[in-house]
Amino acid sequence: MLKKTSLIVLLSIILIASASGFCFAKKELEIKYPEVPGAITPVTAGIPLPDYVKYIFNFAIIIGGLIALVMIILGGTRYMASAGNPSLMADARDQIFSAIIGLFLLLGSYLILTTINPQLTTVTPVRTEIKEGITFLDKEGEEKTFLSSYPDLGDFEPISYKFEADPEDLKVTVYPERHFKGNGALLSSRTGSLPFIPKSVKLEWQLPGVYLCKEDGDCLWTDHDIDILPPEFEDKITFVKFKHITFEKNGEKETTARYEVILHENRGRWGDAARPFLAEPGIKREVSLPSGKGISSATINLFPTKTSSGVFQGAVTLYEKPDYNNHKDCREGKCKELQLKGIGTSNLDFWAGSIKISPEGKYLALVCNKPEGMKNRRCEVFRSSHPALSHTTLGEWYGKIGFLGGRAAHISSVYLSRMK
């Protein structure tokens, strides 16, 4: 009984210790998490909740299995050493039996949660919600409001429609056959009768923002950062489209702000990344990562089309030491000053301990490391200056810092964009 209690207490301590990391997930990571099979290892405080939960779950399963294995070995050793003592042999058998039962429970829970129904361990991200759409009415008076495309309307036979959204923000095409086949008819007026009874309906939103699209043309609209793409879009984005913010002036539309997108390899917007993408409204822009891997998250930036001076110009300074060379700027230690206009880039080879963006709060910087050998390319987005790059995903060991070496970021490129 004592052994069972000890095992339960030990497992509880491990789970609490793991959960404590989650509770303080917003703090910078000061330790290196061990690699866990089947889960993304946390390397930054910005790791999404679903990935952190999966990491803790897999970590607890592995530790629990190791503990059960150790208890079986200890029980076997005690059993062999207790020959001739029935009481101790019985106690050792109970220990082995309890450990085996615990091991089977662990394996059973893992199989149930990952094989029989893997969705139980998946936290599905919430997709950006569009609350308006188009309402169709059939001859029986039944109404249905659509927010997305429907390849098959089934038994529903609408005869009229009414836009709930602004028709300029939503392009609706009805088709006489299922799966968008046949000669489609574009609905342009706010209300009206349908030219025929449609079998499928395609909705293409034209809201200001960024459209992350798959090869088949299905797009995800967003106007803000996405830490985790929905499952139906993750690793499947092949092109992007934009609709910028406009207003009418003297009867003509004028663009006042433009969107751009930075695409990331990993959830949580870190790892390899593609430089900021920008395109004219409605034009498809094919996208890919330098590594050729799939896209899992996105950073969205909105910036004005022009400033009072008519020119975008910002500065990025990379410092050799943390805290901007100990708050002595370039007077102590090396630094690299970059004057960048618009979306600027600079091929570099500089070990940096901190980064300063000026003017503060006006620019967004995508900073990428220098991959060498087996080291993968990593990038990180900074919306403000950072005093310690060693605490970011770009940080790595550098032997020329101090007497024993330390962590810094080996910077290869910087892309600068104006923020709203």
Radius of gyration of the chain (CA): 29
- What are the backbone dihedrals phi and psi of residue 136, each rounded to the nearest 5 degrees, phi first? -110, 150
Whole-angstrom Cα distance, residue 32 to residue 42?
Answer: 8
Give the amino acid at 90.
A
Whole-angstrom Cα distance, residue 335 to residue 332?
Answer: 9
Can you identify the CATH homologous superfamily of domain 314-418?
Answer: Crystallins (2.60.20.10)
CA 77 to chain centre: 48
CA proximity to 298, closest of 344, 235, 255: 235
DSSP secondary structure, 245-307, as one string: EEEEETTEEEEEEEEEEEEEEETTTEEEEEEEE---TT--EE---TT-PPP-EEEEEEEES--
pLDDT of residue 20: 43
Query: Tokens representing 88?
Result: 């101790």
Q: What is the CATH number of domain 214-304?
A: 2.60.20
248, 289 in Cβ contact below 8 A? no
pLDDT of residue 335: 84
Phi-psi region of 178 (alpha: psi -120 to 50; beta: other; left: phi over 0): beta
Going from the first residue of the chain to its last (420 residues), give the mean pLDDT of each consecutive group of 10, the final group possibly shorter: 52 47 43 65 57 74 84 86 81 86 81 59 49 87 88 93 86 93 92 95 85 84 86 89 76 75 86 78 78 86 58 76 78 74 68 87 85 75 88 75 68 81
Whole-angstrom Cα distance, residue 36 to residue 62?
Answer: 8
How confident is the model over 288-306, as pLDDT tens digits?
Answer: 887 788 898 888 888 776 5
- For residue 301, the cross-strand partners are 260
Domain 134-205, what architecture?
A: Sandwich (2.60)
- Which residues belong to CATH 2.60.20.10 in the chain? 134-205, 314-418
CA distances from 337 to 111, 132, 316, 370 (A): 54, 48, 6, 18
Q: What is the three-class DSSP state of 187? A: strand
Instruction: Please give the span between the terminal C-alpha atoms of the chain, in angstroms, as a whole number.
Output: 64
Judge residue 113's burial from the number of C-beta atoms within 10 Å of its C-beta, 0-12 exposed, 13-18 middle, 19 or more buried. middle
